[in-house]
Structure 1
């Protein structure tokens, strides 16, 4: 397998793991981590399908006229020969998986978000780290391929039965962190009580819905800062005014977006 495409990062560590390369059943895994922002720009792999996943942050994706965000519960899938761009924030881990074969459930999906369950996430991290043998990795590859599914966009299709209501809301909100839907409306869509949904957020994330949504918005903002003006970033992540966004950002990270950007640029020149 060979990989081309423009990847712009600050000084970064990139670890590469290949298993069964040269065969249709092979897999190539890159694990990136950078002090600054990472941008996988204008990628169009003529020979390889690609899957991008981050366990600890948001990914900003652009393809055609579509622009959306992907959180840790999902990955971004692109068939070969489809132009796309992916961006991650500073100090974020990104796995980029290259395949010759298409997972069976994704045969009708040229590009877009796909589900990544906890077991698939564990397996991706396993084969993207030292010490994994080839036979073990190729078995894991088959399990990952079988687990990948297109992501539903409707919250009622994600978690309308049993547990998992908070995860369903979190996945839909990750596509559009600026969505201002209140907790009671999400609960109504799921046909559960507001208290039940709030308890599910506390059980799943250890925090309230409001606290979790604020964190999501600010993590997304870190991906966008440097590519868009602060006023645009504030609006895209759901703040009514730039001043409200600056105050929330400074409370969370201890510095304003402007200072954050200056620090980021300084790290990228080191």
Structure 2
């Protein structure tokens, strides 16, 4: 198994740390093989327009948001999800600075993703753990190939609706965050989410505190600002502010400075 073309570019301050890429291949050349590329850089990572005729690809980051595009469709995915691209589907993926990105290259399609050309997919906790485990030196090949099968089983289509959970009293905050990660500019209030999920506002508030240790408004702000950093290198501040849900560039700049201690201009190319 080999990559026909791999385009990864960097954008950021002059003199920033170079891109680091580690490659881990197991069973290469066989349908059941897997190639894992682990990237990290001090600057923004951009996987430029890519079309791999022989390989399906899964992009996952455990510590930040990914901005992905295929055709006219653009979306964001968070750490509990990944971006899937079927072979021969042209796509682009971007990550913010100081973010780790795993690019898993496969010849087989995970059973649950049959028919999906590209888009956000859910990654089970065990699958996420195993991706990180096989992207380390000295991992046994037989164990890695067994892990690959479990990773494949742990990748499923993302739920299109935030209200996909029954009224069990758990998972509500995660459902909201998953929806916000796809559209961080969403302006839905907490009480509106509660109504969609058929739970009380207090129940949803408690779930946010339990899952994230902070209220909904803070989670949404952090998500918006983390997402903005994957866009600033190629988009003007005014456009980024609008896309991540701020009513004005000044409001966005104020929130950004409070969170990161610098203005978005440090990251923006425009």
TM over 0.5: yes
For 1:34, the equivalent position in structure 2 comes to 41
What is the aligned partner in structure 1 of residue 112 from structure 2? Answer: 105
Give the aligned partner of residue 238 of structure 1.
Answer: 245
Deviation, 1:120, is 1.0
Please, which of 159, 163, 167 is the counterpart of residue 156 of structure 1? 163
Unaligned runs of 5+ in 1: 266-270
Q: Does residue 1:77 correspond to 2:84, yes or no?
A: yes
Q: How does 1:12-91 map to 2 (within 5 A)?
A: 12-91=19-98
Counterparts in 2 of 1:93-172, with a 5 A limit?
A: 93-158=100-165, 160-172=167-179
Q: Give 1:242-261 correspondences, 5 Å limit.
A: 242-261=249-268
Distance 1:34 1:71, change over 3 A: same
Moved more, 235-244 or 161-170: 161-170
* SS of residue paired to 1:157: coil
Aligned to 1:9: 10
- Report Cα offsets for 1:38-93 as digits up to 9, x if no partner: 11011100010000000000000010000110111100001111000000011000
Aligned residues between the structures: 263
Q: CA deviation at 1:179?
A: 0.1
Q: Does 1:178 align with 2:178?
A: no
Aligned residue for 2:210, secondary structure, equals helix
After superposing on structure 2, the runs of 4+ consecutive aligned residues of structure 1 that deviate more than 2 Å are: 158-162, 259-262
Q: Are the aligned partners of 2:57 and 2:106 in contact in 1 as well (CA < 8 Å)? A: yes
RMSD of the TM alignment (CA)?
A: 1.3
The 3-state SS of whatever aligns with 2:8 is: strand
CA distance 1:26–1:35, shift in 2 (3 Å):
same
Deviations 1:81-107 (A, max 9, x none): 100000001100000000000011101
Q: Which whole-Å CA distance do the structure 2 matches of 1:160 and 1:107 have between them?
A: 30
SS of 2:224's partner is helix
Measure the CA separation in 2 of the matches of 1:12 and 1:211.
Answer: 31
Cα shift readout 1:174-212 (whole Å, capped 9, x = no counterpart): 000000001111111111111111111111111111000
Q: Aligned residue for 1:200?
A: 207
Contact 1:115 1:149 in 2 (8 A): yes
Quote the Cα distance in structure 2 between the aligned partners of 1:213 and 1:186: 13
**Structure 2: runs of 5+ lacking an equivalent:** 12-17
Give the TM-score of the pair, scaled to structure 2: 0.95
Matches of 2:173 and 2:165 in 1, distance apart? 10
